[in-house]
Amino acid sequence: MIDYLSARIRSFGYAIKGIMTLIGTQPHARLHLLATVVVTGAGVYLHLRRWEWVAILLCIGMVWMAEALNTAIEFLADEVTLERRDRIGKAKDVAAGGVLIVAIISVAVAALVFLNHFGFHLR
């Protein structure tokens, strides 16, 4: 049982190391970090309702997950080869497109949540 718990604790360490690598090596991840802080601060300031927090937190989590998976794909692809290959390029483009899709949807959700607090009642 001790070995099992020790392995689980080590796996958290690897995950934290991965998050630090993501933030330390990816400029877009640093933008996501800034956006996370700003949106969270705005949510606290505006006293978001529970459902609004759920929507915002789901979006934050999806953007971070997409950015992490995109970065992992880029690292793996670059490990295979640094030369330009069509399918590797397509894989990288699709992964980056996934991040963009989630980011656009997240901005839309944030607009729906936050504009309501500034008197713009969207129906």
Residues contacting 32, CB < 8 A, separation 6+: 63, 64, 67
Picking from 71, 57, 30, 66, the residue whose alpha carbon sits closest to that of residue 113 is 57
Do residues 105 and 63 lie in contact, with contact meaning Cβ atoms separated by under 8 Å?
Answer: no
74 carries an active-site annotation: no
Q: Which of 67, 74, 79, 83 is catalytic?
A: 67
Q: Smallest Cα–Cα separation from 26: which of 105, 99, 104, 107?
A: 99
Angle at 16 between CA 11 and CA 14, to 5 degrees: 35
Catalytic residues, by residue number, are 67
